[in-house]
């Protein structure tokens, strides 16, 4: 992220200087908890939940992806824990488009030497690839090799200058979306795309599985080393066979409520429950799920001013599908009852930073809906009280808060970093290793039971519990503020932004 980090102190006090209603104030009424909710968070309980999810993934082919048995087992676990805590639990079913192979794919090298590659080891079929049996010469498209390369292969149609129609395009990851690269290859007349990882950093060396919105030609993906090796061969000809189809699957959101209150308002928290297909999803996002389960288990001891709703989203990794389905299924009156939404997605990265969503837009020039600034201030003030630094992260559409902010519902939350590398400045500010990814196992099989920071898990759960208590126990839960300027409506009504070449 290009914005220079800054340490923020007493943020709630700063917001209060502009408006005495901006942050939740103590309430003298009957609402309250026997002890501060943050202090009741127990690391052993959080790890019990986190490791249970890790085990469920490993017991079900190493994944908890939406539509898989591992996800179903995870939903059962979460629903059972919430019911045991005394919450009203329901499952919200919805369908999504998925992709399945109808026959084993094949990738063969015909020349300069004959060789057959192994599916799942040497190559994978891109999700929503077209089917086909294609053989022909391979033409590299604007490739860039070596560490720290800045590949933008196939991001512009001009990259295909001199491309011979009917050939197979050898394309490199980086610089734009998977879809744009494939669309440009189609426009250039490619019969198929062989798409290899970028190789600029260690996290972009392995075999990967790009997801497309559509394709009219077959697309297979390779690890960086194999892609580079193929690119350096003269007279390369490949033969690939793909037989796949889109299918409709069903999955669920798990929703749990405390009893309704006289205020009629709801304070909502959410975390996505699904992992990517490649791994069991411990940090991404077992960490957020464990935090919510820990809070849910302690919350029934509190007398609440406002109802609290917990959501465990399905199919986030496929495009924020569960949260979008939920929010769009609500009536206008039901959405109006939602005072705010707190999002927890990756809060225990092994090389963590302390990111708070930039609700007031002061760092990233894109404020959230009215009330989001107060949420940011509440989190920032909590960490300032611990004398630890924080940094803003933008509402860039990479997680489930997007469904809420596009409907003008105040949102905020925490994030400890994904695939980007920690800068030297961030290492000095937050500790950890510079020039190493916040989560080196992001979207990978190694996002397992060893891939999380115990300190970050506990710290961020306690911060969330503190902010939840501040809003759920006070009346009104989120007063309006002159400092809470909403983002332009048109910007929030758009689809989530496209990211470099794959969603977080």
Active-site residue set: 316
Q: What are the angstrom distances between the C-alpha of 463 and each of 61, 284, 303, 472?
A: 34, 19, 19, 14
* C-alpha–C-alpha distance, residues 30 and 35, integer Å: 14
Six token digits for residue 284: 């991404």
Reduce the DSSP state of residue 119 to 3 states and report it: strand
* C-alpha–C-alpha distance, residues 223 and 124, integer Å: 9
Give the helix, strand, coil percentages of the chain, each rounded to 5.
Answer: 30, 20, 50
* C-alpha–C-alpha distance, residues 460 and 412, integer Å: 13
Reduce the DSSP state of residue 486 to 3 states and report it: coil
CA atoms within 13 A on the CB side of 412: 30
DSSP bridge pairs for 170: 140, 194
* Sign of the alpha-carbon dihedral angle for 252, 253, 258, 259: negative
Q: What are the angstrom distances between the C-alpha of 48 and each of 44, 54, 286, 456?
A: 6, 10, 11, 16
* Sign of the alpha-carbon dihedral angle for 110, 116, 121, 123: positive
């Amino acid at each position: 992220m290009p914005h220079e980090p800054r340490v923020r102190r007493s943020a709630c006090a700063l917001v209060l200087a502009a408006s005495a209603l901006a942050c939740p104030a103590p309430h003298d009424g009957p609402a309250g908890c026997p002890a501060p909710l943050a202090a009741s968070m127990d690391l052993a309980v959080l790890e019990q939940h986190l490791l249970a999810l890790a085990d469920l993934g490993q017991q079900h082919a190493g994944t908890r992806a939406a539509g898989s048995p591992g996800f179903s087992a995870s939903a059962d676990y979460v629903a059972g824990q919430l019911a045991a805590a005394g919450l009203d639990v329901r499952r919200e079913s919805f369908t999504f488009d998925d992709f399945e192979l109808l026959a084993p794919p094949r990738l063969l090298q015909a020349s300069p030497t004959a060789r057959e590659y192994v599916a799942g080891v040497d190559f994978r079929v891109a999700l929503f690839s077209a089917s086909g049996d294609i053989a022909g010469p391979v033409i590299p498209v604007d490739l860039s090799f070596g560490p720290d390369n800045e590949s933008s292969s196939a991001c512009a149609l001009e990259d295909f200058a001199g491309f011979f129609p009917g050939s197979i395009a050898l394309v490199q990851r980086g610089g734009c979306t998977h879809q744009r690269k494939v669309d440009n290859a189609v426009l250039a007349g490619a019969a198929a795309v062989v798409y290899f990882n970028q190789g600029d950093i260690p996290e972009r060396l392995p075999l990967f599985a790009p997801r497309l919105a559509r394709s009219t030609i077959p697309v297979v993906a390779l690890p960086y080393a194999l892609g580079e090796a193929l690119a350096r061969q003269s007279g390369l000809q490949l033969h690939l066979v793909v037989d796949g189809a889109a299918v409709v699957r069903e999955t669920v959101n798990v929703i749990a409520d405390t009893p309704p209150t006289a205020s009629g308002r709801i304070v909502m928290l959410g975390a996505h429950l699904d992992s990517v297909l490649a791994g069991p999803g411990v940090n991404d996002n077992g960490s957020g799920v464990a935090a919510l389960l820990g809070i849910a288990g302690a919350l029934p001891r509190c007398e609440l001013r406002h109802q609290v709703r917990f959501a465990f989203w399905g199919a986030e990794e496929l495009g924020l599908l569960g949260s979008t389905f939920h929010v769009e299924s609500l009536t206008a009156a039901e959405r109006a009852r939602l005072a705010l939404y707190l999002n927890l997605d990756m809060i225990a990265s092994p090389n963590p930073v302390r990111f708070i969503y930039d609700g007031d837009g002061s760092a990233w020039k894109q404020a959230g809906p009215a009330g989001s600034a107060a949420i940011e201030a509440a989190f920032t003030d909590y960490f300032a009280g611990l004398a630890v630094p924080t940094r803003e992260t933008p509402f860039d559409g990479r997680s489930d808060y997007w469904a809420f902010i596009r409907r003008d519902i105040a949102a905020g939350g925490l994030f400890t970093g994904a695939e980007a590398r920690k800068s030297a400045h961030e290492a000095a500010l937050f500790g950890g290793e510079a020039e190493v990814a916040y989560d080196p196992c992001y979207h990978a099989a190694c996002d397992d039971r060893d891939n999380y920071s115990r300190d970050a898990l506990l710290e961020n759960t306690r911060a969330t519990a503190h902010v939840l208590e501040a809003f759920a126990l006070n009346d009104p839960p989120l007063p309006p503020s002159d400092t809470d300027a909403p983002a332009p409506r048109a910007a929030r009504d758009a689809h989530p932004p496209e990211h470099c070449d794959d969603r977080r």
